[in-house]
Each structure stands twice: as C-alpha cells, then as structure tokens.
C-alpha cells in the first residue's frame, strides 16, 4: 500500500516520531535495512539525500503521516481524496488559539486534555487488530465511555500531529500543544449572539449610548422597555429576551471595551478627561527646589467664625491660599482668609519669598482663576494668557511694573497657566488638598463633608449656626494656629509615597526642601515689594487735587498743582485711604498726597481757612519766583549766583572691603530706581530734623534747670 512504498526524509521522520534528528539519523545508520534507507541524488547537487521508509516508523508516526497526507489531498481536491470521506474544510480552532490565554481561561479543560492525551497515546500503541478487538473494553475502563469516543479522540489526535508538522515546517516554531488542545473542548464564541438581528443590535447601542439616556443614568429595564416600543413601531416579529439583552450590554461594556465611551456619554468631556483620559507622570527629581511652585486656593470642608463689621461672629468656610514646591511637596506662603483676591495672592507670594524660602522661585504653575490671571498679576489681558507670541511681544516692549505684571516685577521668570477644567496639570497641589481633608479637617467638630463629593453620603449634616451661637467653632486665627501646628509637626514628617517612587534620598517634604538641590534668586528690596503691593490706576489732576472714591488728595508742598490737567499714575494701599503716591507719565515720583478735609458751606473754622489761604499764597509765590528766574538775563543770573566748580574723582581712593549687607535683587523697577535719591533726601532730612529737635530739647532743659 502507500505506506509500504512511501519514503520520507530524516527531518520528516524525526518530526513524526517526536524525537531529535540525530537520534533518527543514528538509527538509520545502524539498521539501514530495517529502516528501508534509500539514497537519492539532489537535483541541485551536493550530498545525497537520505530517505527512510514510512513503514519502518512506529504506529503512531505512521498514523500521523497518513493523516497528514489526507489533509494534503483534501487541500488539492476537497470533494474526494483517494476515496476518503469528505471532511469539513478550514483550520481547527486550536491552530489560531493562544495557548497562554487558553490555559488561563480554561485551566481545568487544559489539564483534562493532558490526561486524555496519555490515554490516546496508549491506545494508539496497540496493533491495529488488537486495537479493534479491545477498543470497547479499553474505552470503558479508561474513559467510562464507548469505543466510538476513543476513536474520535484518536482521530483528532492524529489530525493535530499533522497540523503540528505542517505549522512547524512553515514557521520553525514548536506546536506540541496541538496534541493537547485537540482533546479539549472548543471555547464558545463570545459576542456572536446569533439570535440578534443586526438592526436590533444597532438599536440597542443607539439607546444605551445616547447622551441623554446615559446622562440620566438609564437602566437596562428602561432600555428593554424602549426596545419593545420600537418593536411595535417597526413591526419586528420578535426581539431577544431581557436576559439576552442584558448579556449583550455586558459584552459590549466589558469585552468590546466600550465602557469608557459610555462614561463619556454619561458624564461629559470634563469628567472623562479627569477620570478616564490617559495621563503621564512627570519627572520631578530632575527639578531643583523652588524651580517650579504650584499655586491654588482651597476652601476647607469645615467652619470657623470671623467678626463682622457689626461685631457679630459669623460662621464661614475658611480659604487657604498657598504654594507647593514641585520637587519637595513642601507648602509655602500659606495664608488663611475669608475671600481670596489678587491682593491676598500678592501677600502669599511675598510671604513665600521673604519668610518661608528667602528666594524667588523660577517658574509658577498657577490656576486659571481670575485672581491668578488678573492683568496686574501677569501683565497682559486674560484673553491673551495662553498666546505665547502675544506675551513675548508684550514683554519685549514692557518697561515698568504695570506692563510687566506682579510676577515678573518680583523676579519670577515665567508662569504657566492651567487650562480650564484640567486640574491634573497641577495635580500635586490638588492631591495635597485631598490629604488636608482626610488628615486634618476631619478631626474638627465643624467638619461637614467634602464640597466636591459626588455622593450624598459624603456630606455631614450639622447645625453650624447653632454651633456658632454656642461658641463651639474656632475663630479664623485659632484655626490658622492649628493648621500651622499640623503642617510643622505632622505633614513635615510624613514620608511621602511619591518621593519614595521618585527615588529621592530625603523622603519627607521638609527634609527634601531644606537639603535638596536649590534654585536661588535674591529677592527684591523690600521698598520695591512694598510699592508692588499697592494698587495702581491712571487718573486726572484737577485744581482741587485727585479724586478717588469720595476722597480728595493734595500734597503739602504743592508739587501736584504743577500737573493740573494732566493724567498721572497713582498707587495706593487698599487698607489705607489716608494717602496715595503720585507718579508722572515717565514713572517719576511727584509726591505723596494726603486726603484733604472738604470746606463746608457757611461758617468755616479759622484754622482750616487759614491753611487753605496759606497754600494758595505759597503756590502764587512759587510760580512768580519761577517766572522771575525764567525771565532773568544770563549775565545777571551768573553775577548773582556765580559759577560753581567742583573737584571730581576724590571719592573711593582708599582700598577696602565694603560693609556687609543683606543680598537683594538690584531693583529693575523704574519707579524704585528713579526715586532712590528722593528717598535718601527724605531720610537725610528726617535725621537732620531729629538731631535739631534733640538739641532744642536739651537747651530747653538747661534753661528750665537754670
């Protein structure tokens, strides 16, 4: 028969026997007659090709060879191959199955297939006659089933051997696991749902993923009810059962990976970006301490009391304005307040620079809120805050504090503004606020639950007004003291998990802040910082002075009168309305103007009227003197005053070390630079007048004793 006259190569024989090539080669060399060895010349030349007879192989190998030949014949003529019965076309399911996935999903079935493989190999080891004679008994003893079952297993096993040989030749990989999977139960095809018509499937998707339906938290019962209405409307004969629809939805959500799409439809793009959108971690270890700080405001989840203008204690939620160092996670510039604004933000930054750090941070990561992005803070309009080209062009032309903004005026190089509704870009400070809630505010009796909790159970119902009347709430000052104690004793020593993940040597925020590599930039002079804290505006000067929110301002020396009809810049302290600073159009200090008392109609006190007359007369006198000097001829002017000659180069002849002083930034504010001389004159004049006053007191004391 074909098996008696067929010859195969040593490679094929080794694969059918399941033994190494060297073994079958040695066997052919020892027993060439038994193996039916035949030498054939290669068409391409070279060493002769060694073939062995198929009939010399084991029964198992011969059966595998016959199955392989049958598959080859079927591939050439699927209707009939050498009289064999037709079989189903296509590859067996296990050929395209991932073995690791199957072992994980169906571990019991896999190990049952291993045991069946041992039984089948034992059955195939019998001679053909004995196999036929004892098949029924063997199947009953080993499997508890009939002979038909063992023959079915044997056929599947032989087919798997043929597929193993075929795939190994094509890919060069090992496919021995085919011998096991061929005896395992085929996994059910998930997601086919044959009873579902395509129109029904799409309709279920349309309902389940509808934005309105998902946003209202529509249930599966609601979906099936709607599906029944559509069935009547479209005249469908039948629809799947409720249980089948539920399984289909579960398959869509889990197996098809449509869960995130449903979340997007139900919650909108804002929550989707926050909870589901992929993000990347940042390498904070590459930063220096104070290179980047993140700023934000936080409303506490508890209540304290503040005293209103009428003297009554009012309960409020305190707000925290603070900054967190991106490298160390240490909290800086923390200020408690009732309502945050740009002025509070300035105070927070100055506290960071002068009190907490002693240095100006390099970059800021700030919130998108109006306080952080006000024009007085960033120097440009809010609408241009994300336009880097517009900002660069603006700052290239900026020359004073008003156009540069507060951040750059104190020495910060640049600020990055978070996009609206994307808090994860400054996630460190957002996560810190969560830590504050769980580790600090929950210990307070006035805690009422998180403001941003999505569940009603996150709220704690308490009668805050009654607690305030009973005096059970802390004041804002007492709350700040407790906060400072918690920050310095608890948070400072807390081993931060993110610092451990980053591989930092110092694992607590305070220790890393104090010992890590540090960015340093000297802070500006305090006189400049004081000036920057003031509000700024452009006003017009009238002959009655400057009007600002119901107050009229005029200086003592009449310098402001020279600018009547002009627009000037004023700076003032929001907490002090008694005086303002006035600057001309070139940024030079004109004067400090004080709030004036208005003249009343009718009877006016002599002192007020006399002072007003004195200022008027002084103004006329000064302008006459200026007019006289302006009209005096040059020769007469030189004769009156003489020509002054000064000797230059007499300072700084001795070599020595300059006296020590605290390091500060050289003031780059034009207001401060141009007004240093005026400030020095005022200080010198003040020291001179104090000395004269002291001498006068001593003389009066001497006269009194005499």
Within a domain: residue 27?
yes
pLDDT in tens, 245-256: 998 999 888 888
Predicted pLDDT at 657:
47
| pLDDT tens-digit map of 253-267 | 888 888 999 999 998
Which among 362-376, 425-439, 486-500, 573-587 has the top mean pLDDT? 486-500
Do 684 and 618 lie in one domain? The reply is yes
Least confident range from 63-67, 357-361, 632-636: namely 632-636
pLDDT digits (tens, 9 = 90+) for 270-306: 788 877 887 777 777 888 999 999 888 888 889 999 9
Tell me: the pLDDT tens digits for 311-324? Answer: 888 999 999 999 99
Q: How confident is the model at residue 559 (pLDDT cuts 50, 70, 90)?
A: confident
Confidence of residue 332 (pLDDT cuts 50, 70, 90): very high
pLDDT digits (tens, 9 = 90+) for 436-458: 888 898 888 898 887 554 555 66
381-418 pLDDT per residue, tens: 766 655 555 555 554 444 455 567 888 888 888 888 87
Report pLDDT for 86: 38
| 639 vs 57 pLDDT, higher one | 57
The answer, as to whether pTM is greater than 0.75, is no
Residue 480: which pLDDT band, with cuts at 50, 70 and 90?
A: very high
Q: Could you read off the pLDDT of 148-163 as tens digits, one per residue?
A: 888 888 888 888 888 8
Residues 390 and 500 in one domain: yes
CB 184 within 8 A of CB 109: yes
682 falls within a domain: yes
The answer to whether residues 404 and 492 belong to one domain is yes
Does 290 lie in the same domain as 271? no
pLDDT number for residue 3 = 42
Q: What was the pLDDT predicted at 14?
A: 82
Residues 695 and 617 occupy one common structural domain = yes
Average pLDDT (94-111) is 88
Q: Are residues 347 and 482 in the same domain?
A: yes
365 and 323 belong to one structural domain: yes
Residues 203 and 314 in one domain: no
**Residue tagged 């979340």 (tokens):** 263
Question: Residue 90 falls within a domain, yes or no?
Answer: no
78 pLDDT exceeds 50? no
- What pLDDT sits at residue 125? 80
Instruction: Check residue 648 and give its pLDDT.
Output: 37
The structural domain count of the chain equals 4
Q: What is the pLDDT of residue 148?
A: 84
What's 33's domain CATH number?
1.10.10
The DSSP-derived string for 425-487 is: GGHHHHHHHHHHHHHTGGGSTT--B-TT-SSGGGB----HHHHHHTT-SPBHHHHHHHHHHHH
Same domain, 385 and 317: yes
Q: State yes or no: pLDDT of 221 exceeds 90.
A: yes
Lowest mean pLDDT among 102-111, 164-173, 326-335: 164-173
9-53 pLDDT per residue, tens? 888 888 777 788 888 888 888 888 888 888 888 777 778 888 888
Instruction: Check residue 705 and give its pLDDT.
Output: 53
Final residue of a domain: which of 275, 297, 331?
A: 275
Taking residues 211-216, what's their average pLDDT?
91
Q: Can you give the CATH number for the domain in which 333 is found?
A: 3.30.420
Tell me, what's the pLDDT at 661?
Answer: 45
Give dist(CA 346, CA 690) in Å, integer: 35
Are 218 and 348 in the same domain? no
Q: Which of 35, 57, 79 is the last residue of a domain?
A: 57
Q: Is residue 295 part of a domain?
A: yes
| Helix (H) or strand (E) run with residue 61 in it | helix 59-76
The pLDDT assigned to 678 comes to 57
CATH number reported for the structural domain that contains residue 584 in this entry:
2.30.30.130
Residue 617, domain extent: 534-598+610-623+663-700
**pLDDT band, residue 93 (cuts 50/70/90):** confident
Task: Kindly state whether residue 499 falls inside one of the protein's structural domains.
Answer: yes
Cβ(518)–Cβ(529) below 8 Å: no
Per-residue pLDDT band for 477 (boundaries 50, 70, 90) equals very high
Q: What is the pLDDT of residue 629?
A: 75
Q: Could you tell me if 501 and 554 lie in one domain?
A: no
Strands 49-53 and 292-299: unpaired
pLDDT tens for residues 505-531?
889 999 999 998 999 988 887 767 777
190 or 468: which leads in pLDDT: 468
Q: Is residue 48, in this structure, part of any structural domain at all?
A: yes
Domain membership of residue 438 (yes or no) is no
Residues 6+ apart with CB under 8 A from 76: none
Instruction: State the chain's mean pLDDT as an integer.
Output: 78
* Percent with pLDDT over 90 in the chain: 16
Rg of the chain on CA atoms, in Å: 46
Q: Do residue 332 and residue 259 come from a single domain? A: no
Residue 592 maps to a domain: yes
How many other CB atoms are found less than 10 A from the CB of residue 480? 18
């Amino acid at each position: 028969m074909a098996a008696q006259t067929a010859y195969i190569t040593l490679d094929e024989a080794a694969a059918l026997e399941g033994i190494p090539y060297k073994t079958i080669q040695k066997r052919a060399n020892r027993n060439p007659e038994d193996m039916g060895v035949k030498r054939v010349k290669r068409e391409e030349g070279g060493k002769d090709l060694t073939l062995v007879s198929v009939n010399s192989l084991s029964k198992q190998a011969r059966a595998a060879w016959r199955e392989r030949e049958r598959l080859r014949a079927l591939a050439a003529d699927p209707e009939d191959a050498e009289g064999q019965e037709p079989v189903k076309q296509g590859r067996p399911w296990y050929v395209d199955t991932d073995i690791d996935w199957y072992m994980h999903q169906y571990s019991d079935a896999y190990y049952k297939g291993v045991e069946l493989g041992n039984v089948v190999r034992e059955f195939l080891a019998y001679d053909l006659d004995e196999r036929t004679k004892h098949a029924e008994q063997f199947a009953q003893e080993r499997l508890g089933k009939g002979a038909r079952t063992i023959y079915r297993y044997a056929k599947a096993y032989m087919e798997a051997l043929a597929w193993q040989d075929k795939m190994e030749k094509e890919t060069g990989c090992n496919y021995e696991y085919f011998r096991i999977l061929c005896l395992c139960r085929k996994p059910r095809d998930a997601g086919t749902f044959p009873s579902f018509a395509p129109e029904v499937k799409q309709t279920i998707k349309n309902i389940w993923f509808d934005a309105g339906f998902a946003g209202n938290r529509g249930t599966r019962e609601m979906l099936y009810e709607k599906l029944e209405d559509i069935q009547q409307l479209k005249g469908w004969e039948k629809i799947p059962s409720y249980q089948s629809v539920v399984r289909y939805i579960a398959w869509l959500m889990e197996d098809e990976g449509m869960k995130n799409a449903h979340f997007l439809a139900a919650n909108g793009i804002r929550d989707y970006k926050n909870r589901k959108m992929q993000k990347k971690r940042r390498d904070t270890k590459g930063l220096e301490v104070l290179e980047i700080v993140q700023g934000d405001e936080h409303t506490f989840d508890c209540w304290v009391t503040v005293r209103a203008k009428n003297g009554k204690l009012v309960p409020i939620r305190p707000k925290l304005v603070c900054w967190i160092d991106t490298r160390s996670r240490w909290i800086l510039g923390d200020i408690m307040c009732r309502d945050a604004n740009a002025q509070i933000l300035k105070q927070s930054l100055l506290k960071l620079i002068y009190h907490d750090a002693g240095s100006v941070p390099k970059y800021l990561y700030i919130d998108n809120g109006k306080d952080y992005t006000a024009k007085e803070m960033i120097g440009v309009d809010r609408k241009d805050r994300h336009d880097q080209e517009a900002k660069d062009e603006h700052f290239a032309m900026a020359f004073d504090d008003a156009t540069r903004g507060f951040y750059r005026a104190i020495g910060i190089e640049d600020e990055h503004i978070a996009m609206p509704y994307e808090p994860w870009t400054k996630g460190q400070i957002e996560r810190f606020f969560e830590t504050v809630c769980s580790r600090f505010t929950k210990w307070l009796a006035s805690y009422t639950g998180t403001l941003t909790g999505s569940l009603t159970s996150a709220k704690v119902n308490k009668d805050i007004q009654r607690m305030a009347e009973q005096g059970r709430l802390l004041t804002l000052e007492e709350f700040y003291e407790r906060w400072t104690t918690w920050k310095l004793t608890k948070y400072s020593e807390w081993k931060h998990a993110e610092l451990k993940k980053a591989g930092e040597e110092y694992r607590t925020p305070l220790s890393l802040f104090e010992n890590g590599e540090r960015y340093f930039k000297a802070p500006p002079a305090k006189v400049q910082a004081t000036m920057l804290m003031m509000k700024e505006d452009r006003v017009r000067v009238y002959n009655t002075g400057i009007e600002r929110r119901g107050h009229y301002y005029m200086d003592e020396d009449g310098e402001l009168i020279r600018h009547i009809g002009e627009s000037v810049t004023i700076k003032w302290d929001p907490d002090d309305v008694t005086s303002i600073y006035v600057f001309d159009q070139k940024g030079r200090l004109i004067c400090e103007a004080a709030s004036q008392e208005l003249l009343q109609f009718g009877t006016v006190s002599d002192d007020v009227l006399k002072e007003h007359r004195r200022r008027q007369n002084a103004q006329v006198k000064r302008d006459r003197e200026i007019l006289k000097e302006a009209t005096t001829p040059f020769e007469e002017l030189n004769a009156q005053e003489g020509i002054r000659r000064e000797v230059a180069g007499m300072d700084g002849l001795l070599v020595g070390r300059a006296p020590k002083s605290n390091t500060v930034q050289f003031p780059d504010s034009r207001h401060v630079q141009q007004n240093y001389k005026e400030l020095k004159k005022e200080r010198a004049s003040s020291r001179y007048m104090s000395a004269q006053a002291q001498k006068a007191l001593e003389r009066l004391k001497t006269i009194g004793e005499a």
